[in-house]
Amino acid sequence: MPKGTPLTEEEQEKRRHEIFHKVVNVFLKKGFQETSMREIAEAAGLGKSTLYDYFKTKDEILIYFFEDQLNDLTAEAQRIALQNMDADQRLRQIMEMHLEFLVENKNLFLKLSIEAQRLKLESQKRIQNGRYAYQDLLRGLIEEGIREGAFRKVDPLLAARLLVHIMAPVVFASRPTGTPQEMLKETLDIFLKGLQV
Amino acid sequence: MPKGTPLTEEEQEKRRHEIFHKVVNVFLKKGFQETSMREIAEAAGLGKSTLYDYFKTKDEILIYFFEDQLNDLTAEAQRIALQNMDADQRLRQIMEMHLEFLVENKNLFLKLSIEAQRLKLESQKRIQNGRYAYQDLLRGLIEEGIREGAFRKVDPLLAARLLVHIMAPVVFASRPTGTPQEMLKETLDIFLKGLQV
DNA sequence: ACTGAAAACGACCAGCGTTCGCTTTTATTG
DNA sequence: CAATAAAAGCGAACGCTGGTCGTTTTCAGT
């Protein structure tokens, strides 16, 4: 990495990605909050203040993670939403994908999404914009289902939000009553039955 | 408050309650995380280290709040659960009470429950025990409903957990689509319909 | 080879939660 | 009523934190 040359925004982004990847294991072991900027810098093989050239604050590191992940999640959901199936089937498929997504990096997402709730309101809003994109996609599907007559005339945004929120007890249950997949199925059975006409 | 006399555990508890009450407004204005122990001590009219005689750590102050509130909530729910009504009616009534409870001190509960998620895992577990008592009470009602044939044979613990979790989007929605009461009604309509045979 | 500018850095800062050793207060005792 | 023991109360001090600043290192373009 040459020094005297300015990095393009793209290169900086790539660098952020690299840095985050080098540090992920520390977050997994110690948690984000409990990891100091000194430790993060060391794990990334950087001087402490160099870290600040890539992330303006410590919180920015967490925000970076979520913006990155939510982009991926929404893109994948969009792909499913465009398929040629009943709305409720697509909803199911999206939530299964969502679950897979969460389970894959379960510890990471569990740890970091808990810690994300402690960010300053302004930081939360940035993450929230990403969430909204996802929520609105689900809402679109629910509206479609209502239009098609498959669902009752429920408040589509509220229903979309419920859908997102019921993922938590499925993935993060501290007293699980089955595999996440089983719990998701049961949950969707309840939820989608509740939506039906 | 005499000095040379040891306080009984009961007196200490009362003192903790007093202290918390004196400080509540600071938490409401600044948030818990952003309020330093120095400020807390000042608001309580105590020396900084005297505070530590009543709360072993800063987090303990937050834990105290939740244990206190969850006790009240569960006691109230228990009262409703014992009434002579259909299980789903009692569930509805409990959730309405729960909502009222949250709305009443909305700002406090909103602020503090967000900040509570940042506590150390061990501290969270103590709060969780309180949550379990409440969850199990709801589970009991759902089991009753199943036995009576009003509900399908769903996983009662999972359903109870869902019920608790759907409160969040109702009370804490950043894009609300109605009054909390309206949103709760719609939410319960979906949820309870999903439970029906 | 020189130079300007960006990258990298470690010493430093204010403020944090928490601890410690000391002072103040008072119910009990002789 | 004086002496005492023990708890309540306290502020200074500690080790740490996230974040800043002035300097040094590095290199592309001349």
Check if CATH label 1.10.357.10 holds for domain B58-195.
Answer: yes
Contact at 8 Å (CB) between B40 and B61?
yes
Contact at 8 Å (CB) between B41 and B121?
no
The single-letter code of the amino acid at A40 is I
Strand D nucleotides within a 7 Å radius of protein CB atoms: 5-13, 16-22, 25-28
Q: Rounded to the nearest 5°, which phi and psi values hold at A196?
A: -65, 155
Q: Which residue is nearest to nucleotide D9 (CA to C1')?
A: B50
Determine contact: A186 vs chain B, CB below 8 A. yes
Q: Rounded to the nearest 5°, which phi and psi values hold at B151?
A: -115, 155
Residues of chain B with CATH 1.10.357.10: 58-195
* Mutate which: A158, A171, A192, vs B, most B CBs within 10 A: A158
Which residues put CB within 7 Å of chain C, the nucleic strand? A 1, 3-7, 46-50, 53; B 2-5, 35-38, 48-49, 52, 56-59
Token duo for residue B41: 């001590």
Token duo for residue B174: 């950043």
Give the pLDDT score at B3.
Answer: 60
Residues of chain A with CATH 1.10.357.10: 57-195
Chain B residues in contact with A154 (beta carbon < 8 A): 186, 189-190
Contact at 8 Å (CB) between B69 and B109?
yes
Superfamily the domain B1-55 falls into: Homeodomain-like (1.10.10.60)
Q: Which residue, chain included where needed, has tokens 């982004």? A: A13
Each residue's pLDDT tens digit in chain B (197 positions)? Answer: 446 677 778 888 999 999 999 999 999 999 999 999 999 999 999 999 999 999 999 999 999 999 988 998 999 999 999 999 999 999 999 999 999 988 887 778 878 887 887 788 788 889 999 999 999 999 999 999 999 999 999 999 999 999 999 988 888 788 899 999 999 999 999 999 999 98
Distance, CA of A157 to CA of B175 (rounded, Å): 9
B62 secondary structure, DSSP code: H
Each residue's pLDDT tens digit in chain A (197 positions)? Answer: 445 677 778 888 899 999 999 999 999 999 899 999 999 999 999 999 999 999 999 999 999 999 988 988 999 999 999 999 999 999 999 999 999 988 887 778 878 887 887 788 788 888 999 999 999 999 999 999 999 999 999 999 999 999 999 888 888 788 889 999 999 999 999 999 999 98
Q: Could you tell me the sign of the dihedral formed by the alpha carbons of B166, B169, B170, B171, in that order? A: positive
Residues in chain B: 197
Give the pLDDT score at B51.
Answer: 96
Residues of chain B with CATH 1.10.10.60: 1-55
Strand partners, A196: A151
Determine contact: A193 vs chain B, CB below 8 A. yes
**Inter-chain residue contact B190 with A195, CB threshold 8 Å:** yes
Contact at 8 Å (CB) between A28 and A107?
yes
Contact at 8 Å (CB) between A157 and B175?
yes
Contact at 8 Å (CB) between A146 and A154?
yes
Token duo for residue A169: 């007890």
Give the pLDDT score at A150.
Answer: 95
Q: What class, spelled out in words, does domain A57-195 have in CATH?
A: mainly alpha
What's the angle, vertex CA A84, arms to CA A78 and CA A86, rounded to 5? 95
Contact at 8 Å (CB) between A102 and A109?
yes
Q: Which residue, chain included where needed, has tokens 């309509």? A: B189
Distance, CA of A196 to CA of A146 (rounded, Å): 9
Smallest CA–C1' separation from A1, nucleotide? C7
Q: By C-alpha distance, which of B72, B98, B71, B88 is closest to B164?
A: B98
**A186 closest CB neighbour out of B155, B177, B192:** B155
**Inter-chain residue contact B166 with A166, CB threshold 8 Å:** yes
Chain B residues in contact with A169 (beta carbon < 8 A): 158, 161-162, 164-165
Q: By C-alpha distance, which of A119, A113, A147, A143 is closest to A131?
A: A113
Strand C nucleotides within a 7 Å radius of protein CB atoms: 4-11, 15-21, 24-27
